[in-house]
């Protein structure tokens, strides 16, 4: 490339950057002028933007840009001088001009002379209606809806800066120059700075060791001084006295040197830690961009879509300067666009419908961004008609998702969750724009990929509100670090409801599973050691450390060994060669350089469901089992083979087992002896298992005894009949095997020792 070509390429790039900034000014100003065409400040800013683009285009020799910007400037000057009142047709045409300028500033844009001539002619007719018959208003450009799952949103070039001011050099609002930096280099810088921050923390134990060594040296010196005092009364040879003096002098010099170097290391460690923190904060700030960066064109899209659907819609945005990680912003663009389009299409009514409902003809969509507890919180609300809950209910029944009787009893919250199911729609016909509910599963999926959550609320006749929470950055995560099986694991705080200590009496048995009471409901209790395949460490403490985690409507208490504390962790992705590691999302380093694995909460809850379905969820011991007697189990079955098989299996695991030949025999045994568990068949002579369990539940002494039903009947109604009678667990003999029975017993009463 020749020097002239290089210069031309550089100038064209500058023109492209300036066009990007000035088009944003024009779009914002024109949307404001559409609501009030007399706002002088917006007329001035738009006119100056068009004028600047005209001059820049002339400098770089882009004649098409000169022509388009010139006629736009003429229109805006006429409005400033009150020779023209901007109407809908003028705003449409000016917005069309901003689109043309964007295409002109883009290499390979495909804009030809006929396009420019047609636009100049259109603006000429609007500025001088007497020159030619008025043309029909230019319809707003409505882009074809994009499926946010199958098509990636356009990703802007990462820029470590805020929105550029309208000058040739890209600068921040404070006048600082801005340089383009590749995302890879920013990621590398952040990675190096985070590792540097961690490495400086490793100086702390070295410093502590030197300070301990200094104290030991001081103790040794004092001991030598005391020895010298005691030896004064003894006649020592000159050689011994000199040796003792040399030792005292050497220790004193060593003590002084150690004190000096310890002080220097302390100062160095503090300064290194401070500099590493500043380096990391600065590198992280380079990745942060204002939330407004994801909103480029959204207000225009809402306006154009509304016009195309015959609706008047305005988008109001709060918190545009809220800082968010670049990667988070890029992944938010598609779900936000989808929600905005849904709000315009199905949320906002037509002007006629709104007026009849006593509302302003113009609909309002509010998008608010803010920081809360280390999260980016987004609220997208419209003042439309809300969700037709009865229509949702009918659609659920029509699609066979729930029986009519069950659907009739669903609450509003439960009904709204159906809108997030794949393919669920309230539309009778497919339209160009997705209806409310269509694609919300895709929105939820994308938000979950950001380790976030989305919730829908609505008020009939008054509108709907989407509440989204996502991390401010994917590079760091605020977490609770715990100990499981002697290893450190981290639960992201975004998924933690609370932490608590459970006493043994707080743990209850409900339908064969352990629960505890939390905020008016029973919460299932699971052991982190089983989920993470770590050895369980017996603690002498009578209390149980529990982390209450939530993912949407699913909530569980996870028992851990120890709370280490809250930490801000720098996320280190796992090696791609490992693939997806079950229950783990990433790794990190603690202050001492040790590794901690970050829990994938959504995956962890799926693991809980799998263990429940397989009947393999282990029971957590509620007290210290040391030196405890063996637990007693009563097996009631009229089949000799089944009785002996169960007795053999249970005794092999250390349980004390008694047997009964039918329900009456079992009832007599229960009233005369103490047991920790009853295992019973259903079909037996004299008294069947259902009668036995019913009698047991009515007895004050026995009503809390865990009961397992083992039966050949494996239909759902048989299982329900057994559980309704009061059984805690139902195991079908058709699927009976050794592990299933033993695992169920452990789940109900724990190991063989009480």
Could you give the CA distance from residue 547 to residue 495 in angstroms, rounded to a whole number?
Answer: 10
Could you give the CA distance from residue 57 to residue 51 in angstroms, rounded to a whole number?
Answer: 10
pTM over 0.85: no
Quick one: what percent of the chain has pLDDT higher than 90?
A: 15
Could you give the CA distance from residue 603 to residue 187 in angstroms, rounded to a whole number?
Answer: 27
* The predicted structure's pLDDT at residue 145: 38
Q: What is the per-residue pLDDT across 119-130, written as a single tens digit (0 to 9) for each?
A: 999 999 888 866
Query: How would you classify residue 685: left for phi > 0, otherwise alpha for psi between -120 and 50, otherwise beta?
Result: beta
With vertex at residue 235, the alpha carbon angle to CA 231 and CA 239, rounded to the nearest 5 degrees, is 90
Does residue 17 or residue 430 have the better pLDDT? 17
Query: How would you classify residue 565: left for phi > 0, otherwise alpha for psi between -120 and 50, otherwise beta?
Result: left
Q: What is the per-residue pLDDT across 498-512, written as a single tens digit (0 to 9) for each?
A: 888 888 778 887 766
Of the given ranges (119-133, 300-314, 547-561, 623-637), which has the lowest mean pLDDT?
A: 623-637
Q: What is the per-residue pLDDT across 622-652, written as a single tens digit (0 to 9) for each?
A: 554 444 678 899 999 988 878 888 888 888 7
If you average pLDDT over each of 340-349, 508-517, 610-619, which comes out highest? 340-349
* Helix (H/G/I), strand (E/B), else coil: 518: strand
Phi then psi for residue 676, to 5 deg, are -100, -15
- What confidence category does residue 146 fall into, taking pLDDT thresholds of 50, 70 and 90? very low
Does residue 184 or residue 81 have the better pLDDT? 81
* The predicted structure's pLDDT at residue 738: 57
Statement: residue 355 has pLDDT above 90: yes
Could you give the CA distance from residue 589 to residue 490 in angstroms, rounded to a whole number?
Answer: 11
DSSP state of 343: I
Of the given ranges (25-34, 532-541, 687-696, 711-720), which has the lowest mean pLDDT?
A: 532-541
| 49, 165 Cβ separation under 8 angstroms | no
Rounded to an integer, the average pLDDT of 279-301 is 82
* The predicted structure's pLDDT at residue 133: 46
Could you give the CA distance from residue 68 to residue 137 in angstroms, rounded to a whole number?
Answer: 18
Across 512-523, b (16+ Cβ under 10 Å) vs e yields: bbbbbebeeeeb
Nearest alpha carbon to residue 50 among 90, 81, 18, 92 = 18
* The predicted structure's pLDDT at residue 263: 81
Statement: residue 384 has pLDDT above 60: yes
Give the DSSP letter string of 46-65: HHHHHHHHHHHHHHHT-HHH
Of the given ranges (71-85, 444-458, 672-686), which has the lowest mean pLDDT?
A: 444-458
Q: How far is CA 202 from the centre of its chain?
A: 30
* The predicted structure's pLDDT at residue 726: 82
Could you give the CA distance from residue 515 to residue 512 in angstroms, rounded to a whole number?
Answer: 10
Q: 216: number of CA atoms within 13 Å, CB side?
A: 6
Q: Based on the number of CB atoms within 10 Å of its own CB, is 735 exposed (0-12), middle (13-18) or buried (19 or more)? A: exposed
Nearest alpha carbon to residue 397 among 386, 385, 409 = 409
Q: What is the per-residue pLDDT across 181-212, written as a single tens digit (0 to 9) for each?
A: 777 888 788 778 877 877 777 777 777 778 77
- What confidence category does residue 567 fall into, taking pLDDT thresholds of 50, 70 and 90? confident
Q: Based on the number of CB atoms within 10 Å of its own CB, is 391 exposed (0-12), middle (13-18) or buried (19 or more)? A: exposed
Could you give the CA distance from residue 533 to residue 546 in angstroms, rounded to a whole number?
Answer: 17
Rounded to an integer, the average pLDDT of 446-464 is 85
Strands 632-636 and 595-599: unpaired
Q: 467: number of CA atoms within 13 Å, CB side?
A: 7
- What confidence category does residue 603 fall into, taking pLDDT thresholds of 50, 70 and 90? confident
If you average pLDDT over each of 69-73, 520-524, 711-715, which comes out highest? 69-73
State the DSSP H helix or E strand holding residue 114, giving kind and residue range, or none if neither: helix 113-127
Nearest alpha carbon to residue 141 among 70, 102, 109, 93 = 93
Statement: residue 735 has pLDDT above 80: no
Write down the mean pLDDT value for the chain. 80
Statement: residue 448 has pLDDT above 50: yes
Longest dimension (CA), the chain: 129
Give the DSSP letter string of 564-589: EEEEEEE-BPPPGGG-PPTTEEEEEE
Q: What is the per-residue pLDDT across 233-278, written as a single tens digit (0 to 9) for each?
A: 777 778 888 888 888 888 888 888 888 888 888 888 888 888 888 8
């Amino acid at each position: 490339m020749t020097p002239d070509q290089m210069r031309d390429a550089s100038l064209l790039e500058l023109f492209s950057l300036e066009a990007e900034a000035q088009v944003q000014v024009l779009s914002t100003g024109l949307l404001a002028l559409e609501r009030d065409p007399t706002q002088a400040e917006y007329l001035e800013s738009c006119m100056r933007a068009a004028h600047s683009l005209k001059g820049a285009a002339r400098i770089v020799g882009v004649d098409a840009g000169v022509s388009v910007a010139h006629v736009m400037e003429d229109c805006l000057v006429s409005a400033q001088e009150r020779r023209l009142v901007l109407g809908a047709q003028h705003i449409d045409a000016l917005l069309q001009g901003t689109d043309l300028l964007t295409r002109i500033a883009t290499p390979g844009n495909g804009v030809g002379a006929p396009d420019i001539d047609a636009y100049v002619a259109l603006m000429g007719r609007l500025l001088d209606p007497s020159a030619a018959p008025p043309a029909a208003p230019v319809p707003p450009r409505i882009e074809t809806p994009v499926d946010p799952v199958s098509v990636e949103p356009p990703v802007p070039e990462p820029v470590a800066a805020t929105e550029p001011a309208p000058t040739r050099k890209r600068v921040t609002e404070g006048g600082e120059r801005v340089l383009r930096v590749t995302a890879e280099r920013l990621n590398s810088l952040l990675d190096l700075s985070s590792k540097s921050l961690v490495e400086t923390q490793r100086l702390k134990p070295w410093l502590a060791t030197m300070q301990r060594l200094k104290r030991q040296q001081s103790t040794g010196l004092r001991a030598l001084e005391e020895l010298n005092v005691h030896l004064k009364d003894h006649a020592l040879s000159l050689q011994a006295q000199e040796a003792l003096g040399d030792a005292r002098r050497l220790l004193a010099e060593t003590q002084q040197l150690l004190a000096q170097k310890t002080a220097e290391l302390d100062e160095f460690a503090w300064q290194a830690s401070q500099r590493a923190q500043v380096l990391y904060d600065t590198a992280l700030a380079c990745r942060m961009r204002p939330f407004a960066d994801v909103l480029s064109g959204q207000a225009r899209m809402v306006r154009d879509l509304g016009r195309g659907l015959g609706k008047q819609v305005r988008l109001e945005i709060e918190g545009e300067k809220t800082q968010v990680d670049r990667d988070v912003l890029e992944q938010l663009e598609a779900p936000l666009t989808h929600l905005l389009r849904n709000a315009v299409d199905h949320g906002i009514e037509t002007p006629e419908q709104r007026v009849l409902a006593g509302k302003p003809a113009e609909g309002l969509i509010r998008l608010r961004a803010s920081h809360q507890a280390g999260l980016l919180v987004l609220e997208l609300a419209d003042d439309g008609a809300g969700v037709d809950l009865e229509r949702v209910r009918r659609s659920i029944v029509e699609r066979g998702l729930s029986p009519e009787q069950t659907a009739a009893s669903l609450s509003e919250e439960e009904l709204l969750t159906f809108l997030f199911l794949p393919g669920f729609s309230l539309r009778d016909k497919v339209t160009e724009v997705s209806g409310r509910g269509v694609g919300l599963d895709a929105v939820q999926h994308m938000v979950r990929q950001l380790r976030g959550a989305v919730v829908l609320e609505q008020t009939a006749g008054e509108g709907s509100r989407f509440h989204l929470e996502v991390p401010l950055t994917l590079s760091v995560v605020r977490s609770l670090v715990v100990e499981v099986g002697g290893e450190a694991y981290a639960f992201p705080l975004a998924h933690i409801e609370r932490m608590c200590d459970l006493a043994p009496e707080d743990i209850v048995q409900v339908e064969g599973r352990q629960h505890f009471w939390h905020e008016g409901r029973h919460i299932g209790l699971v052991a982190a050691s089983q989920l993470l395949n770590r050895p369980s460490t017996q603690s002498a403490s009578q209390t149980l450390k529990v982390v209450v985690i939530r993912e949407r409507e699913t909530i569980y208490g996870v028992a851990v060994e120890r709370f280490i504390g809250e930490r801000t962790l720098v996320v280190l992705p796992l090696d791609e060669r490992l693939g997806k590691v079950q229950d783990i999302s990433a790794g990190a380093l603690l202050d001492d350089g040790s590794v901690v694995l970050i829990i994938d909460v959504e995956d962890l809850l799926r693991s809980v469901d799998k263990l429940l379905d397989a009947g393999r969820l282990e029971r957590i011991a509620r007290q210290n089992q040391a030196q405890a007697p063996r637990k007693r189990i009563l097996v009631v079955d009229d089949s000799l083979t089944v009785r002996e098989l169960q007795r053999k299996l249970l005794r092999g695991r250390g349980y004390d087992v008694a047997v009964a030949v039918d329900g009456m025999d079992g009832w007599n045994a229960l009233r005369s002896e103490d047991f920790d568990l009853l295992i019973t068949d259903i079909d037996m002579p004299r008294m069947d298992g259902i009668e036995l369990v019913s009698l047991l539940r009515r007895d004050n002494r026995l009503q809390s005894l865990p009961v397992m039903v083992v039966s050949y009947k494996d239909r759902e109604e048989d299982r329900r009949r057994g559980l309704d009678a009061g059984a805690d667990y139902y195991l079908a003999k058709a699927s009976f095997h050794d592990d299933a029975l033993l695992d169920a017993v452990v789940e109900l009463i724990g190991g063989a020792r009480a």
